[in-house]
Protein backbone atom coordinates (compact mmCIF):
# COMPACT_ATOMS: atom_id res chain seq x y z
CA UNK A 1 0.00 0.00 0.00
CA UNK A 2 1.26 3.45 -0.95
CA UNK A 3 -0.01 6.77 0.41
CA UNK A 4 0.45 10.18 -1.17
CA UNK A 5 -0.72 13.58 0.10
CA UNK A 6 -1.94 16.06 -2.53
CA UNK A 7 -2.13 19.80 -1.89
CA UNK A 8 -1.97 23.04 -3.88
CA UNK A 9 -2.43 26.81 -3.54
CA UNK A 10 -0.74 27.08 -0.17
CA UNK A 11 0.18 30.75 -0.82
CA UNK A 12 2.67 30.87 2.03
CA UNK A 13 2.43 34.08 4.07
CA UNK A 14 -0.51 35.42 2.10
CA UNK A 15 -2.46 37.69 4.49
CA UNK A 16 -5.93 36.76 5.69
CA UNK A 17 -8.53 39.46 5.06
CA UNK A 18 -11.25 39.82 7.67
CA UNK A 19 -12.57 42.57 9.92
CA UNK A 20 -12.40 40.00 12.72
CA UNK A 21 -8.61 40.27 12.58
CA UNK A 22 -8.86 43.72 14.14
CA UNK A 23 -9.17 41.81 17.40
CA UNK A 24 -5.57 41.64 18.69
CA UNK A 25 -6.18 38.28 20.36
CA UNK A 26 -7.32 36.63 17.13
CA UNK A 27 -4.61 38.33 15.10
CA UNK A 28 -2.00 37.00 17.49
CA UNK A 29 -3.25 33.46 16.97
CA UNK A 30 -3.48 33.72 13.18
CA UNK A 31 -0.50 35.80 12.14
CA UNK A 32 1.02 32.77 10.41
CA UNK A 33 -2.12 30.85 9.41
CA UNK A 34 -0.87 29.70 5.99
CA UNK A 35 2.35 28.44 7.55
CA UNK A 36 0.46 26.55 10.22
CA UNK A 37 -1.75 24.96 7.56
CA UNK A 38 1.35 23.78 5.68
CA UNK A 39 2.85 22.49 8.94
CA UNK A 40 -0.32 20.44 9.43
CA UNK A 41 0.15 18.93 5.98
CA UNK A 42 3.67 17.90 6.97
CA UNK A 43 2.41 16.55 10.31
CA UNK A 44 -0.17 14.36 8.53
CA UNK A 45 2.40 13.16 6.00
CA UNK A 46 4.70 12.04 8.82
CA UNK A 47 2.06 10.52 11.07
CA UNK A 48 0.32 8.60 8.24
CA UNK A 49 3.52 7.33 6.66
CA UNK A 50 3.02 8.77 3.19
CA UNK A 51 5.60 8.09 0.51
CA UNK A 52 5.34 11.52 -1.10
CA UNK A 53 3.70 14.94 -0.92
CA UNK A 54 2.42 16.40 -4.19
CA UNK A 55 2.30 20.23 -4.40
CA UNK A 56 0.37 21.25 -7.52
CA UNK A 57 1.40 24.90 -7.79
CA UNK A 58 1.21 28.24 -5.96
CA UNK A 59 3.23 27.21 -2.96
CA UNK A 60 4.30 30.86 -2.75
CA UNK A 61 2.23 34.03 -2.95
CA UNK A 62 3.02 36.79 -5.43
CA UNK A 63 6.32 38.56 -5.85
CA UNK A 64 7.18 39.36 -2.23
CA UNK A 65 10.74 38.41 -1.27
CA UNK A 66 10.96 36.94 2.23
CA UNK A 67 13.94 35.15 3.77
CA UNK A 68 11.67 34.18 6.66
CA UNK A 69 9.31 32.33 4.29
CA UNK A 70 12.24 30.56 2.67
CA UNK A 71 13.65 29.50 6.04
CA UNK A 72 10.28 28.18 7.20
CA UNK A 73 9.76 26.17 4.02
CA UNK A 74 13.25 24.66 4.15
CA UNK A 75 12.64 23.55 7.73
CA UNK A 76 9.36 21.83 6.86
CA UNK A 77 10.80 20.08 3.81
CA UNK A 78 13.74 18.87 5.88
CA UNK A 79 11.28 17.33 8.36
CA UNK A 80 9.94 15.28 5.46
CA UNK A 81 13.44 14.45 4.24
CA UNK A 82 14.41 13.11 7.66
CA UNK A 83 11.62 10.52 7.41
CA UNK A 84 12.29 9.61 3.79
CA UNK A 85 9.21 11.39 2.40
CA UNK A 86 9.68 12.66 -1.15
CA UNK A 87 8.14 15.91 -2.44
CA UNK A 88 7.02 16.58 -6.02
CA UNK A 89 6.30 20.17 -6.96
CA UNK A 90 5.04 21.94 -10.08
CA UNK A 91 5.17 25.73 -10.20
CA UNK A 92 1.98 27.71 -10.72
CA UNK A 93 1.47 31.31 -11.82
CA UNK A 94 2.25 32.75 -8.35
CA UNK A 95 5.39 30.66 -8.01
CA UNK A 96 6.68 31.77 -11.40
CA UNK A 97 6.68 35.43 -10.32
CA UNK A 98 8.19 34.80 -6.88
CA UNK A 99 11.95 35.38 -6.64
CA UNK A 100 12.32 32.90 -3.76
CA UNK A 101 11.61 29.96 -6.08
CA UNK A 102 14.80 30.69 -8.01
CA UNK A 103 16.96 31.32 -4.96
CA UNK A 104 15.98 28.86 -2.26
CA UNK A 105 18.06 25.69 -1.97
CA UNK A 106 15.63 22.82 -1.60
CA UNK A 107 16.51 19.53 0.12
CA UNK A 108 17.39 16.50 -2.01
CA UNK A 109 14.01 14.89 -1.37
CA UNK A 110 12.27 17.60 -3.44
CA UNK A 111 11.82 17.24 -7.19
CA UNK A 112 10.70 20.37 -9.03
CA UNK A 113 9.30 19.75 -12.50
CA UNK A 114 10.32 22.35 -15.06
CA UNK A 115 8.36 23.92 -17.90
CA UNK A 116 9.38 21.19 -20.34
CA UNK A 117 7.71 18.50 -18.29
CA UNK A 118 8.94 15.08 -17.28
CA UNK A 119 8.29 11.98 -15.20
CA UNK A 120 9.85 10.42 -12.10
CA UNK A 121 9.48 6.85 -10.85
CA UNK A 122 8.31 6.73 -7.24
CA UNK A 123 8.55 2.96 -6.90
CA UNK A 124 8.02 -0.15 -9.04
CA UNK A 125 4.34 0.67 -9.43
CA UNK A 126 3.94 4.48 -9.46
CA UNK A 127 5.17 7.21 -11.83
CA UNK A 128 4.73 10.94 -11.15
CA UNK A 129 4.42 13.27 -14.18
CA UNK A 130 4.45 17.06 -14.01
CA UNK A 131 4.76 20.31 -15.96
CA UNK A 132 5.48 23.70 -14.33
CA UNK A 133 4.60 27.20 -15.48
CA UNK A 134 7.58 28.73 -17.30
CA UNK A 135 6.33 32.27 -16.63
CA UNK A 136 3.53 34.16 -14.95
CA UNK A 137 1.02 33.25 -17.64
CA UNK A 138 0.18 29.97 -19.36
CA UNK A 139 -2.56 30.84 -21.81
CA UNK A 140 -2.17 27.62 -23.81
CA UNK A 141 -2.82 24.09 -22.59
CA UNK A 142 0.17 22.37 -20.98
CA UNK A 143 -1.31 18.93 -21.59
CA UNK A 144 0.67 18.29 -24.83
CA UNK A 145 3.89 18.46 -22.76
CA UNK A 146 2.92 15.40 -20.72
CA UNK A 147 4.36 12.09 -21.90
CA UNK A 148 2.21 9.05 -22.50
CA UNK A 149 1.42 6.93 -19.43
CA UNK A 150 3.94 4.25 -18.48
CA UNK A 151 2.37 0.84 -19.26
CA UNK A 152 1.37 -1.49 -16.41
CA UNK A 153 1.88 1.28 -13.83
CA UNK A 154 -0.06 3.83 -11.81
CA UNK A 155 0.43 7.17 -13.56
CA UNK A 156 -0.16 10.42 -11.66
CA UNK A 157 -0.15 13.79 -13.43
CA UNK A 158 0.47 17.12 -11.66
CA UNK A 159 -0.95 20.22 -13.34
CA UNK A 160 -1.79 23.79 -12.30
CA UNK A 161 -4.84 24.67 -14.40
CA UNK A 162 -8.16 26.52 -14.41
CA UNK A 163 -9.57 23.64 -16.51
CA UNK A 164 -12.33 25.13 -18.67
CA UNK A 165 -12.56 28.22 -16.47
CA UNK A 166 -13.62 29.07 -12.94
CA UNK A 167 -15.15 32.26 -11.58
CA UNK A 168 -12.60 34.40 -9.76
CA UNK A 169 -9.59 32.59 -11.22
CA UNK A 170 -7.45 33.53 -14.21
CA UNK A 171 -7.91 31.19 -17.20
CA UNK A 172 -4.47 29.56 -17.07
CA UNK A 173 -3.32 26.35 -18.77
CA UNK A 174 -6.87 25.64 -20.00
CA UNK A 175 -8.00 22.09 -20.73
CA UNK A 176 -11.16 20.07 -20.26
CA UNK A 177 -11.95 17.17 -17.97
CA UNK A 178 -12.49 15.09 -21.12
CA UNK A 179 -8.96 15.99 -22.29
CA UNK A 180 -7.49 14.79 -18.99
CA UNK A 181 -9.48 11.57 -19.08
CA UNK A 182 -8.31 10.85 -22.60
CA UNK A 183 -4.64 11.13 -21.64
CA UNK A 184 -4.74 7.80 -19.82
CA UNK A 185 -3.41 8.73 -16.37
CA UNK A 186 -4.93 7.19 -13.24
CA UNK A 187 -4.93 10.33 -11.05
CA UNK A 188 -4.67 14.00 -11.92
CA UNK A 189 -3.33 16.13 -9.05
CA UNK A 190 -4.56 19.60 -9.98
CA UNK A 191 -4.18 23.07 -8.49
CA UNK A 192 -5.22 26.71 -9.08
CA UNK A 193 -8.92 26.80 -8.09
CA UNK A 194 -9.24 27.35 -4.33
CA UNK A 195 -12.47 25.39 -3.81
CA UNK A 196 -12.10 21.61 -3.50
CA UNK A 197 -13.80 19.55 -6.17
CA UNK A 198 -13.56 15.98 -7.38
CA UNK A 199 -14.16 16.29 -11.13
CA UNK A 200 -13.96 12.57 -11.86
CA UNK A 201 -13.44 9.24 -10.11
CA UNK A 202 -12.53 7.19 -13.18
CA UNK A 203 -9.85 8.35 -13.56
CA UNK A 204 -9.48 10.49 -10.46
CA UNK A 205 -9.33 14.19 -11.29
CA UNK A 206 -9.04 16.17 -8.06
CA UNK A 207 -8.76 19.89 -7.32
CA UNK A 208 -7.85 19.86 -3.60
CA UNK A 209 -8.55 23.55 -2.98
CA UNK A 210 -6.44 25.81 -0.80
CA UNK A 211 -5.43 24.37 2.59
CA UNK A 212 -6.21 27.73 4.29
CA UNK A 213 -8.97 30.11 3.20
CA UNK A 214 -7.94 33.76 3.08
CA UNK A 215 -11.25 35.67 2.97
CA UNK A 216 -15.03 35.22 3.14
CA UNK A 217 -15.02 34.23 -0.54
CA UNK A 218 -13.13 31.08 0.48
CA UNK A 219 -15.51 30.04 3.22
CA UNK A 220 -15.73 26.68 4.95
CA UNK A 221 -13.13 24.21 6.24
CA UNK A 222 -10.14 23.58 3.96
CA UNK A 223 -8.19 20.41 3.40
CA UNK A 224 -5.57 18.39 1.57
CA UNK A 225 -6.30 15.11 -0.22
CA UNK A 226 -4.94 11.74 0.88
CA UNK A 227 -4.40 9.23 -1.93
CA UNK A 228 -4.19 5.54 -1.02
CA UNK A 229 -2.99 3.09 -3.67
CA UNK A 230 -3.64 -0.55 -2.82
CA UNK A 231 -4.58 -2.30 -6.03
CA UNK A 232 -7.07 0.53 -6.53
CA UNK A 233 -6.97 4.25 -5.74
CA UNK A 234 -8.96 5.66 -2.83
CA UNK A 235 -9.22 9.33 -1.88
CA UNK A 236 -10.18 11.17 1.32
CA UNK A 237 -10.05 14.71 2.69
CA UNK A 238 -7.60 15.67 5.44
CA UNK A 239 -8.49 18.86 7.42
CA UNK A 240 -5.77 21.53 7.33
CA UNK A 241 -7.20 25.02 7.91
CA UNK A 242 -6.49 26.92 11.11
CA UNK A 243 -9.27 29.45 10.54
CA UNK A 244 -12.41 28.99 8.46
CA UNK A 245 -14.71 31.68 7.20
CA UNK A 246 -18.38 31.18 8.07
CA UNK A 247 -21.72 32.59 6.98
CA UNK A 248 -24.36 32.41 9.72
CA UNK A 249 -27.98 33.38 9.01
CA UNK A 250 -30.14 34.12 12.07
CA UNK A 251 -33.92 34.34 11.44
CA UNK A 252 -35.36 36.82 13.95
CA UNK A 253 -39.07 36.92 13.02
CA UNK A 254 -40.00 35.28 16.34
CA UNK A 255 -38.00 37.73 18.46
CA UNK A 256 -40.35 39.87 20.56
CA UNK A 257 -37.56 42.02 22.00
CA UNK A 258 -33.85 42.48 22.36
CA UNK A 259 -33.51 39.67 24.91
CA UNK A 260 -35.04 37.21 22.46
CA UNK A 261 -32.71 38.48 19.75
CA UNK A 262 -29.66 37.90 21.94
CA UNK A 263 -30.83 34.36 22.72
CA UNK A 264 -31.29 33.56 19.03
CA UNK A 265 -27.84 34.92 18.18
CA UNK A 266 -26.21 33.04 21.04
CA UNK A 267 -27.80 29.71 20.07
CA UNK A 268 -26.86 30.06 16.39
CA UNK A 269 -23.26 31.11 17.01
CA UNK A 270 -22.59 28.58 19.77
CA UNK A 271 -24.01 25.83 17.55
CA UNK A 272 -21.55 26.73 14.81
CA UNK A 273 -18.70 26.72 17.33
CA UNK A 274 -19.57 23.17 18.38
CA UNK A 275 -19.26 21.79 14.83
CA UNK A 276 -16.34 23.94 13.69
CA UNK A 277 -13.71 21.84 11.88
CA UNK A 278 -10.89 24.38 12.15
CA UNK A 279 -9.51 25.85 15.37
CA UNK A 280 -11.15 29.23 14.80
CA UNK A 281 -13.85 30.84 12.68
CA UNK A 282 -14.50 34.32 11.31
CA UNK A 283 -18.25 34.68 10.85
CA UNK A 284 -20.31 36.93 8.64
CA UNK A 285 -23.61 37.07 10.52
CA UNK A 286 -26.85 38.06 8.77
CA UNK A 287 -30.09 38.82 10.61
CA UNK A 288 -32.99 37.74 8.38
CA UNK A 289 -36.78 37.75 8.26
CA UNK A 290 -39.56 40.26 8.84
CA UNK A 291 -39.53 41.70 12.33
CA UNK A 292 -41.23 44.51 14.22
CA UNK A 293 -37.75 45.20 15.67
CA UNK A 294 -36.37 46.09 12.24
CA UNK A 295 -36.15 49.85 12.48
CA UNK A 296 -34.86 49.74 16.05
CA UNK A 297 -32.09 47.33 14.99
CA UNK A 298 -31.20 49.63 12.11
CA UNK A 299 -31.11 52.56 14.51
CA UNK A 300 -28.96 50.62 17.00
CA UNK A 301 -26.72 48.92 14.44
CA UNK A 302 -23.44 49.79 16.23
CA UNK A 303 -24.84 48.37 19.45
CA UNK A 304 -25.68 45.07 17.75
CA UNK A 305 -22.31 44.82 16.05
CA UNK A 306 -20.65 44.97 19.47
CA UNK A 307 -23.24 42.70 21.11
CA UNK A 308 -22.89 39.93 18.53
CA UNK A 309 -19.11 40.30 18.53
CA UNK A 310 -19.19 39.72 22.32
CA UNK A 311 -21.45 36.68 21.90
CA UNK A 312 -19.04 35.24 19.31
CA UNK A 313 -16.06 35.81 21.60
CA UNK A 314 -17.84 33.83 24.33
CA UNK A 315 -17.12 30.68 22.32
CA UNK A 316 -13.35 31.44 22.27
CA UNK A 317 -13.44 29.98 18.74
CA UNK A 318 -15.53 32.37 16.62
CA UNK A 319 -15.00 36.05 15.93
CA UNK A 320 -17.37 38.39 14.09
CA UNK A 321 -16.23 39.34 10.61
CA UNK A 322 -19.24 41.48 9.73
CA UNK A 323 -22.89 41.97 10.65
CA UNK A 324 -25.36 42.25 7.76
CA UNK A 325 -28.99 43.23 8.23
CA UNK A 326 -31.09 41.39 5.69
CA UNK A 327 -34.34 42.66 7.18
CA UNK A 328 -37.03 43.50 4.62
CA UNK A 329 -39.43 46.35 5.34
CA UNK A 330 -43.02 45.14 5.78
CA UNK A 331 -46.26 47.09 6.38
CA UNK A 332 -46.17 46.09 10.05
CA UNK A 333 -42.56 47.25 10.57
CA UNK A 334 -43.29 50.52 8.77
CA UNK A 335 -46.36 51.08 10.99
CA UNK A 336 -44.27 50.33 14.08
CA UNK A 337 -41.63 52.84 13.06
CA UNK A 338 -44.24 55.45 12.09
CA UNK A 339 -46.17 55.04 15.34
CA UNK A 340 -43.03 55.44 17.44
CA UNK A 341 -41.90 58.44 15.40
CA UNK A 342 -45.33 60.04 15.85
CA UNK A 343 -45.11 59.46 19.58
CA UNK A 344 -41.67 61.11 19.74
CA UNK A 345 -42.94 64.11 17.78
CA UNK A 346 -45.94 64.52 20.10
CA UNK A 347 -43.63 64.46 23.14
CA UNK A 348 -41.45 67.14 21.54
CA UNK A 349 -44.46 69.32 20.80
CA UNK A 350 -45.46 69.20 24.46
CA UNK A 351 -42.01 70.41 25.58
CA UNK A 352 -42.18 74.10 26.67
CA UNK A 353 -38.52 74.58 25.80
CA UNK A 354 -39.11 73.36 22.25
CA UNK A 355 -42.03 75.77 21.79
CA UNK A 356 -39.99 78.68 23.16
CA UNK A 357 -36.96 77.89 20.98
CA UNK A 358 -39.17 77.58 17.90
CA UNK A 359 -40.92 80.90 18.63
CA UNK A 360 -37.54 82.65 19.07
CA UNK A 361 -36.18 81.29 15.74
CA UNK A 362 -39.34 82.21 13.86
CA UNK A 363 -39.15 85.79 15.24
CA UNK A 364 -35.55 86.06 14.05
CA UNK A 365 -36.56 84.85 10.58
CA UNK A 366 -39.48 87.29 10.39
Tens digits of per-residue pLDDT, 278-301?
999 999 999 999 988 898 999 999
Residue 276 scores a pLDDT above 90: yes
Handedness of CA 165, 171, 176, 180 (dihedral sign): negative
pLDDT at res. 207: 96
pLDDT at res. 332: 65
Q: Which residues make Cβ contacts (< 8 Å) with residue 255, sequence separation at least 6?
A: 261, 264, 291, 293
Residue 270 scores a pLDDT above 90: yes
pLDDT at res. 78: 96
222 vs 311: CA distance, rounded Å: 25
- Least confident residue range of 111-120, 155-164, 176-185, 343-352: 343-352
β-partners of residue 280 are 243
- Using only C-alpha atoms, the chain has a radius of gyration, in whole angstroms, of 27
Three-class secondary structure assignment of 254-265: CCCCHHHHHHHH
What is the bridge-based pairing of β-strands 52-56 and 2-7? parallel
pLDDT at res. 138: 61
For the chain, give the mean pLDDT: 90
Q: Mean pLDDT over residues 79-86, rounded?
A: 97
268 vs 271: CA distance, rounded Å: 5
Residue 44 scores a pLDDT above 90: yes
Tens digits of per-residue pLDDT, 145-182?
999 999 999 999 999 998 875 555 556 778 899 999 99
Tens digits of per-residue pLDDT, 220-266?
999 999 999 998 999 999 999 999 999 999 999 999 999 999 999 99
Q: Mean pLDDT over residues 20-40, rounded?
A: 90
Torsion angle in degrees (nearest 10) through CA of 171, 173, 140, 180: -120
Gap between the terminal Cα atoms of the chain: 96
Residue 333 scores a pLDDT above 70: no
Q: Mean pLDDT over residues 105-134, rounded?
A: 92
pLDDT at res. 190: 96
Amino acid sequence: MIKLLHTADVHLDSPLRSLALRDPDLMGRLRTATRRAFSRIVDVALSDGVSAVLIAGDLFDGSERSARTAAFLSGQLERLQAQGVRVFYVKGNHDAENPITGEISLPDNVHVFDGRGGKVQLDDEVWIHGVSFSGRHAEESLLPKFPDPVPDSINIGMLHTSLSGSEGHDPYAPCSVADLKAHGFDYWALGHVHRRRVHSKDPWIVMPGTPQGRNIGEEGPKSATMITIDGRIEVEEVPTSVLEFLEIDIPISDAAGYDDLRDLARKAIHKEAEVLTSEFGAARVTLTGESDLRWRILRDRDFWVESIADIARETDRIWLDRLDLGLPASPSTIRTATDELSGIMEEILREPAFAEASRSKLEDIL
